[in-house]
Amino acid sequence: MNFTAPESLIFWTSIIFIVFFILLGKFAWKPILSAVKGREDSINSALAAAETARLEMQNLTAENERILQEARLERDAMLKEAREMREKMIADSKADAQVEGARMIEQAKVAIAAEKNAAMAELKSHVSTLSLDIAEKLLKSELSNKEAQTKLVENMLGDVKLN
């Protein structure tokens, strides 16, 4: 291997390498490394933000679920209450109706009884009048001749036992 002149290559390598290093450092490595770093940071922060968003979403879903659950319970409670109220109302009105019915029946009975009594009284008076009329007519017809009158008196006297 021929060395030519060692000072030549040593000199130029040092100069070229140092200049090259400084230029690259200033114009290439610094922007490249900072760009790569910046992008990595932005990716990491984006991932972190995505994670936060995911957690928030999860929280939100849980919250929604909870609210929904609450609403469902409330609805059930309301339905139950309504059902109970309805049943109670039905029961109440049934009871009321019964009471009213009973009362009305009672009134009706009283009215019927009053009517019956009145009717009986009327009937009685009618019957009595009628019987008097009949008796009068009978007596008139019976007592139109003497014989018949005597006979009747005898009959009647015959019925009356002197005890």
Interface residue list for another protein (CB under 8 A): 1-14, 16-21, 23-25, 27-33, 35-36, 38-39
The residue (of 2 and 163) whose beta carbon lies closer to another protein is 2
* Contact yes or no for 148/140 (Cβ under 8 A): no
Q: Closest separation between CB of residue 49 and another protein, Å?
A: 17
The residue (of 31 and 101) whose beta carbon lies closer to another protein is 31
Q: Closest separation between CB of residue 17 and another protein, Å?
A: 7
Q: Closest separation between CB of residue 40 and another protein, Å?
A: 9
Q: Provide the CA 6 distance to its chain's centre, in angstroms.
A: 104
Largest CA distance in the chain: 201
